[in-house]
Amino acid sequence: MEFLSLPPELLSRILCYVPGRDLSNVCRSCKILRDAAYVDSVWQRKCEEVLCRYGDSIGLWRRDLEYYGGLLQVKYDKGCIKGTELIAPICSCVDGPLRKKAMFTISMTSEGKVEVVSVHDTSSGPRPCLLRVERDKAKERVLEYKVPDKDYIIKAKDARDHPLLQQWMQEELESEYMDIYFNCFFRRSVTLLSSRHHYQWSPLKLPCKSRVNAPIQPGLFKGTYSAHGIEVLSLDYDEELTEVTVTKITGDPNVPATKVSVKGDLTSSLVLTAEEQGSIRDLNAASQRSAAERDLPEKQPFVIPENCFDRDISDIPKSCSFRCKAKGQIASHGYKHSSFSEGHFVVFDESKFGMVWLELMSFSIYYRVDDKELND
């Protein structure tokens, strides 16, 4: 009885050292011990002890899915480990936050057992799933997820008419953009739905956050890709800070995930007047001059050429802080006949940059994924 008369805070501290399987029995013994055990600090410690074998899964992961890729975040949250898909904003909101969709949870039951559950499909409820971290032939970590329930598996031939596909399409597409994006989004939805029972991810290594004298700091961004919608990309530099590279984390059947989308030559900076940006022809002519002919200003005007597709992107800045020659990768369906076409890499500020695709007569804008989107 003297033990039970100890202050609740001290009882909770003592119970932290009780093995997980025994802790559940202690909780049943009396109300005082149950109340002392049911505090976050006790179960947080128990979970960390039991779940430590899944510690290799903590972090950001890139999905190994042909063409489309994907982004997964795994982290500790309130005594368990949660896996969450990070999805690009809907088509008209490139400046919006990444959307989050719960994928799986790893938790400890009151009996001290580890429970791994898929929560990806809210319509059918939680399901047991298999989750493991292994090493591939190159000894790199690979995270694999499987839902073995045969009723959960949807074959590609059945996915086209599946009610879930219609639901996904409605979530992804606003009615006013249906004609533009329907075909691309339909193909992607069929692929995602027919592979929902089996995921495989590779670790995503984020670029260094700070580079001195860089026109824009490295990081994750969301960018517009015409009929393919919004994709997630990573921006980084070479060691000499002579080239900027934008690489896809999510992709499409033309230029898939993991492929370079844009390469900017930082040694070929440009200074253009508004008049020199009136048309693609004007831009091509002005691109032949080097910045050495003019002083580099802190700001210079930015104008979308009148015959350039995607002029309807909202809130395009009227000035930029840096501009240089660039090349953007293009390809036919299935990543065939790939090549790099001429363009301009344009920095507006630390939160956004753009790409003027000269040969495609198109414009893409990219917004930074800030820390809040990953940490909330």
The DSSP secondary structure of 85-97, one letter per residue, reads EEEPPPTT-TTSP
Indicate the average pLDDT of the chain. Answer: 87
Number of H helices, E strands in the chain: 9, 19
pTM attached to this predicted model: 0.86
C-beta atoms surrounding 174 within 10 Å: 12
Which range (95-104, 108-117, 173-182, 223-232) has the least confidence? 173-182
Pairwise pLDDT comparison (15 vs 196), residue with the higher score? 196
- Give residue 324's identity as a one-letter amino acid code: C
CA terminus-to-terminus distance, the chain:
44
Pairwise pLDDT comparison (172 vs 282), residue with the higher score? 282
Average pLDDT for 321-343: 97
Query: Cα(258)–Cα(306) distance, rounded to whole angstroms?
Result: 32
Q: Which residues pair with 102 in a beta bridge?
A: 84
In the chain, the percentage of residues whose pLDDT exceeds 70 is: 90
Q: What are the tokens at 226?
A: 């015409």
Average pLDDT for 211-235: 94
Which range (1-5, 129-133, 220-224) has the least confidence? 1-5
CA distances for 293 relative to 22, 236, 284, 302, angstroms: 77, 28, 17, 19
Supply the pLDDT for residue 322.
96
Closest of 276, 209, 268 to residue 243, by C-alpha: 268
